[in-house]
């Protein structure tokens, strides 16, 4: 799931919406009218030798492959957060600047590939692909990474993982897609770092932005969702949405825990090994230990914790979250100490035992 951009659809992202609708509409039309597809082929030799410069505009905007169009649309939809944060004009300037830079980079990389490997690159995949890959640069540098879950206890899944997976899928869709990806990443890095003051050279003028604001924005603008209250932009929205997701996760875990306890009381554990005998529940572990005679201690140094708990530090925040889920404080302390303050491992441990 895309967890970095909120749940407001295309609100305050008219440029992203227009790119999704217009470019995908043209891709569908070319699929139905294959006789016109030759006009949108990104043929490098036709541009350099036959001087068909118009192919740069046609071939570097519209995708001819449905799979490329779908993956790039998913990425544009996710990267709409930059249009919300920085405004439509800055977002359009970034796309325009990286589009111009990547057009030059495409030919330079193709010539370098031919010089190194003696192989001439004649065609490249069509579509707005290099500027989409360039958006991975600000996405990597400016979007905070928040953990969502873990796989096998070691592989961390974050709110940015699915975006990288879609980008990898787009990268492997055709043999020379890597050249466009490299061109886009180099262009995005150059424009984002403002090397040679590229942001002051390649940008959308104010008068063009005003024309788009009065003509195109009313057509492609989206209404504000009525079920959402006005919130701050940027990372504040991401944090608030993450908090709501965590509250929902706590409620689901509590429901699963209550259901598991009810099922455990009604039927015994089945299987080849009785795991409850090998690993008893936390509530009964103190009873299975050998009783030890308490040592006399001064009254002023008596501890309020049970004697079988270690003295390793435990975050009170994590303890409070586990107590809110329905576990006792003693079980929460022992589970957190056993899992080295990992709230996910402690929760799974408590639910399974």
Name every residue whose Cβ is closer than 8 Å to that of residue 259 and which is 6 or more positions away in sequence: none
Instruction: Give the residue among 145, 44, 62 at the shortest CA–CA distance from 103.
Output: 44
The pLDDT of residue 84 is 87
Last residue of a domain, one of 221, 254, 283: 221
Please identify which residue in the block is written with the tokens 């020379």.
176
DSSP per-residue string spanning 31-69 = HH-GGGGGGG-EEHHHHHTS--THHHHHHTTS-SSHHHH
Q: State the Cα–Cα distance between residues 275 and 280, nearest whole angstrom.
A: 8
Q: Are 2 and 245 in contact (CB under 8 A)?
A: no
Domain holding 336: CATH number?
A: 1.10.8.10
Please identify which residue in the block is written with the tokens 């270690």.
310
The pLDDT of residue 195 is 83
* Per-residue tokens: 323: 């107590």
Q: Are 245 and 146 in contact (CB under 8 A)?
A: no
Instruction: Give the residue among 9, 11, 46 at the shortest CA–CA distance from 224.
Output: 11
Is 36 within the bounds of a domain? yes
Asked whether residue 89 falls in the same domain as residue 214, the answer is yes
- CA triple 323-328-334, angle to 5 deg: 100
- The Cβ of residue 31 has, within 10 Å, a number of other Cβ atoms equal to 13
* Per-residue tokens: 320: 């409070």
Given phi > 0 = left and psi -120 to 50 = alpha, else beta, which region is 304?
alpha
Asked whether residue 216 falls in the same domain as residue 316, the answer is no
Q: Which SS3 state, helix, strand or coil, does residue 147 take?
A: strand
Domain holding 64: CATH number?
A: 1.20.1540
Whole domain around residue 20: which residue ranges? Answer: 12-221
Alpha carbon of 189 to those of 111, 122, 353: distances in Å?
21, 26, 50
The pLDDT of residue 1 is 39
* Per-residue tokens: 106: 């495409």
Q: Which residues pair with 157 in a beta bridge?
A: 149
* Per-residue tokens: 208: 């063009």
Q: Is the pTM of this model over 0.85?
A: no
Is 60 within the bounds of a domain? yes
Q: Which SS3 state, helix, strand or coil, does residue 123 take?
A: strand
The pLDDT of residue 212 is 87
The pLDDT of residue 259 is 65
Last residue of a domain, one of 200, 221, 242: 221
| Number of domains comprising the chain | 2
Last residue of a domain, one of 170, 203, 221: 221
The pLDDT of residue 171 is 95
Asked whether residue 210 falls in the same domain as residue 327, the answer is no
**One pLDDT digit (tens) per residue for the chain, 353 residues:** 344 444 467 888 899 999 999 999 999 999 999 999 999 999 999 999 999 999 999 999 999 999 999 999 999 999 999 998 888 999 999 999 999 999 999 999 999 999 999 999 999 999 999 999 999 999 999 888 888 888 877 788 888 999 999 999 999 999 999 999 999 999 999 999 988 889 999 999 999 999 988 888 888 887 766 544 444 444 555 555 656 656 655 666 666 666 666 665 555 544 444 444 444 444 444 444 444 454 554 444 444 444 344 455 777 888 888 887 777 888 888 888 877 787 877 877 777 66
By DSSP bridging, strand 42-43 and strand 147-151 are: unpaired
Q: Are 282 and 350 in contact (CB under 8 A)?
A: yes
Is 91 within the bounds of a domain? yes
DSSP per-residue string spanning 245-276 = HHHHHHHHHHHHHHHHHHHHHHS---SSS-HH
Is 1 within the bounds of a domain? no
Please identify which residue in the block is written with the tokens 């036959």.
50
The pLDDT of residue 229 is 43
- Main-chain dihedrals φ then ψ at residue 322, nearest 5 degrees: -70, -40
């Amino acid at each position: 799931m895309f967890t970095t951009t909120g749940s407001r659809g295309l609100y305050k992202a008219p440029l992203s919406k227009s790119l999704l609708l217009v470019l995908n509409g043209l891709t569908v039309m070319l699929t139905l009218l294959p006789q016109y597809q030759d006009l949108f082929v990104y043929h490098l030799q036709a541009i350099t030798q036959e001087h068909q410069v118009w192919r740069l505009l046609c071939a570097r905007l519209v995708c001819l492959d449905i799979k490329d169009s779908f993956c790039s649309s998913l990425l544009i939809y996710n990267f709409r957060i930059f249009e919300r944060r920085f405004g439509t004009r800055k977002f359009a300037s970034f796309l325009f600047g990286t589009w111009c830079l990547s057009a030059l980079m495409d030919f330079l990389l193709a010539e370098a590939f031919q010089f190194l490997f003696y192989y001439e690159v004649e065609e490249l995949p069509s579509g707005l692909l290099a500027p989409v890959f360039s958006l991975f640069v600000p996405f990597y540098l400016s979007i905070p990474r928040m953990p969502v879950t873990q796989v096998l206890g070691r592989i961390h899944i974050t709110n940015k993982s699915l975006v990288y997976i879609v980008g990898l899928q787009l990268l492997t869709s055709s043999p020379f897609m890597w050249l466009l990806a490299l061109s886009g990443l180099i262009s995005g890095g150059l424009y984002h770092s403002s090397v040679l003051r590229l942001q002051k050279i390649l940008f959308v003028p104010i008068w063009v932005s005003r024309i788009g604001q009065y003509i195109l924005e009313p057509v492609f603008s989206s209404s504000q969702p009525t079920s959402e209250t006005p919130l701050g932009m940027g990372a504040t929205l991401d944090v608030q949405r993450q908090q709501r997701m965590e509250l929902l996760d706590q409620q689901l875990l509590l429901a699963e825990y209550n259901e598991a306890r009810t099922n455990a009381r009604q039927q015994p554990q089945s299987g080849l090994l009785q795991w409850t005998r090998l690993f008893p529940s936390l509530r009964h572990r103190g009873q299975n230990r050998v009783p030890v005679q308490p040592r006399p201690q001064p009254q002023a140094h008596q501890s309020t914790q049970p004697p079988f708990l270690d003295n390793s530090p435990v975050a009170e925040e994590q303890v409070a979250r586990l107590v809110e889920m329905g576990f006792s404080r003693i079980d929460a302390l022992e589970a957190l100490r056993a899992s080295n303050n990992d709230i996910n491992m402690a929760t799974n441990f408590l639910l399974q035992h």
